[in-house]
Amino acid sequence: MLQPKKTKKIVCQKGRKKGISSNIQKLRFGDFGLVSLDACVISLKTFESIRRILTRATLRKALIFLCVACDTSVSKKALGIRMGKGKGSHSYWAAKISAGQILVEIKGTNSSLALEALKRATYKLPCNSRIIMRW
């Protein structure tokens, strides 16, 4: 669902995210948003669980915008394999998040429902985050 359809090279290099994102505290689509305060790597399973929490907490009445795409593949070697012999096979998809990047936006619901939903979603994230509002 949130993964790329076609990839030329499915095994990516690890890389690092440094610095602060340029789109800090600028909501584009919604009225409420979730901003990461640290750089981290978030897997596709985590984003799917966040999306489910937000849809259930807003009673399926709000528009939810996921502003991050899981486009980096993470490889993992099997247990019991010795060092060397190349890189492991594809394991899961992930997104590299920089500090200050907007992760999720919500539109079309009252403020108390949206704030409660975003507060529940922060418990699933592997990094520190903050809720921001348009007003």
pLDDT at 19: 78
pLDDT by position in tens, the chain (length 135)? 677 887 777 778 888 877 787 755 689 999 999 999 999 999 999 999 999 999 999 999 999 999 999 989 999 999 999 999 888 888 999 999 999 999 999 999 999 999 999 999 999 999 999 999 987
Query: In the structure encoding, which two tokens stand for residue 52, read together?
Result: 């489910």
pLDDT at 129: 95
Domains and CATH numbers, the chain: 32-72+90-133 (3.90.1170.10)
Question: What is this structure's pTM?
Answer: 0.86
pLDDT at 128: 96
Nearest 5°: the CA angle 19, 23, 27 is 145
| End-to-end CA, the chain | 32
pLDDT at 48: 95
